[in-house]
Structure 1
């Protein structure tokens, strides 16, 4: 059984909803499973610390999750057209894996949510993909052979799945956004499966 790590940060729940849909897409591929992980928030207060286990939701990610995965899908809300600091902080701590080439040759993708339609979705996705290029990962997005990419009037980009959550993060995931999340999960899982078979 292969495994795709779906790793995200979500403050108000919109990005978490996308992560769950992407996991469903991963698990639609026979022989593949999703491992859902999050990262803790960061604090400017030096004495602040988080419990080792979150109060709710998936466990916090560890480097071992990255070592074990056959593919990676990163998710973050937009922060001034960039990934959120907690996810960046975690990724910045992966240099040991980079030195060993642990993620090299594995498929990867990204997803995001924004408050508004033009809130920096594509640039946020690109900021998440750049460190994965340094890791030697094989990046994939969403091709226009996915009809929902042409039909969407909400989120969805060729750089990855996305969602327009609204100013209060209370907008439901649209049908097209849902379709593209599932497609992204399936796409990465299928690529990982084919790569595993090629190495067997």
Structure 2
């Protein structure tokens, strides 16, 4: 079995919806086991309530969990053109994995939600990949074989660097079917690549 983790942080539910679509896509590839986890919240419950954050009962991950997976798909909202602080804090706690090269050669991908079309969507997808490459992970994007990202008749999220959605300035815009289809596509894309990589590694070990 290829083991894939969809790991995300979501404030208002947009990234969570994409995470579920990523997992659905990955599970469509035979021989794939998928877990969905979220990173811990770093703001108080009082602030969450005042800001209207959505409740989320998804199990919380620990940095030590990452080593058990062949591929990890990271989801984050955009915060001023970068990943959310909650995701950065989580990655900052994975120094032990970095020191042991525990994630070297594993597959990674990124998806994101952004308030506006030009509010740092691509910057977030790209900059989130930087620490993953420091861990030695291999990056999978969302290639143009997913034709939905070239549509011009309505607003869509995502880019060649990963799936995504545009939430709107007030967060009221939900991921549309193209956004969700992109996330499902990326999840399946990651699962297929991870299966090849895992098979290659097993072959090398057997040899």
TM-score by length of 1: 0.90
Partner of residue 192, structure 2? 190
The answer as to 2:167 corresponding to 1:165 is: yes
- Within a 5 Å distance, the mapping from 1:8-157 to structure 2 comes to 8-43=8-43, 56-151=56-151, 153-157=155-159
Q: Deviations over 1:83-102 (max 9, x none)?
A: 01111000001111011111
**Partners of 2:114 and 2:59 in 1: how far apart?**
24
Instruction: Determine the C-alpha separation between the residues in 2 that align with 1:111 and 1:59.
Output: 19
Pairing 1:173-184 to 2, within 5 Å after superposition: 173-184=175-186
Equivalent residues, number: 190
List structure 1 segments (4+ residues) > 3 angstroms apart after TM superposition.
Answer: none
Deviations 1:86-126 (A, max 9, x none): 11000001111011111111111100001111111111111
Counterpart contact for 2:64–2:97, Cα < 8 Å: no
The CA distance in 2 between the partners of 1:125 and 1:57, in whole Å, is 25
Question: What value does the CA root-mean-square deviation take over the aligned residues?
Answer: 1.4
Deviation, 1:196, is 1.0
Structure 1 residue 2, shift from structure 2 partner:
1.7
Any unmatched runs of 5+ in structure 2? 45-54, 203-207
